[in-house]
Amino acid sequence: MKVATINELKTELSALPPAELVELCLRLAKFKKESKELLTYLLLESHSLDGYIASVQEYIALEFDGMTTTHLYHAKKTLRKILRITNKHIRFTGSKQAEIELLLFFCRKMRRCGIQIDRSVQLTNLYVQQLRKIEKALETLHEDLQYDYRKQLDTLTFA
């Protein structure tokens, strides 16, 4: 089966009556949890980006608090899980500012969680990769915001 392009889907959706469009959205949300989460964000939480970022940060903090640091293997798995969830919420917002704030928060929590990042090549690479993503997103923001976020980013880089 050939999958339609975004443009084709857009034209088809614009031709549908509103009631049928609602039915399609609900049917789509039934099949995949991520679709339901995205629909929840778009309908209920997209009007307050700061509140959404705060709730995601709270969730990330809870996940870090529940992380076990006794075994490096389990810590790595948990960090990857937290990062996967963080990236999902970044995709939902589609905002570079939200991306920077959430990744800065993730990196801060990662530095403070008690794991020695430099003991593991994988964790070092994961951390440095997030710093690069923040750098790349910073380039798209206004100069004033860049300055504020760059100061925060400088505190997270390795000495």
Question: Residue 141: exposed, middle, or buried by beta-carbon count in 10 A (0-12, 13-18, 19+)?
Answer: middle
Place of tokens 């801060």: 108
Name the more confident of 124 and 114. 124
Q: Is 52 left (phi over 0), alpha (psi -120 to 50) or beta?
A: alpha
**Using the 8-state DSSP alphabet, how is residue 119 labeled?**
G
* Closest among 15, 36, 17 to 26, alpha carbons compared: 36
Q: Which amino acid is at 159?
A: A
pLDDT band at 158 (very low <50, low <70, confident <90, very high): low
pLDDT tens, position by position, 6-42: 898 888 888 989 899 888 888 888 888 888 888 888 8
Distance (Å, rounded) from C-alpha 3 to C-alpha 9? 10
Kindly state the tokens that stand for 73: 């293997």
Distance (Å, rounded) from C-alpha 18 to C-alpha 23? 9
Q: What is the pTM of this model?
A: 0.86
pLDDT of the residue at 64: 93
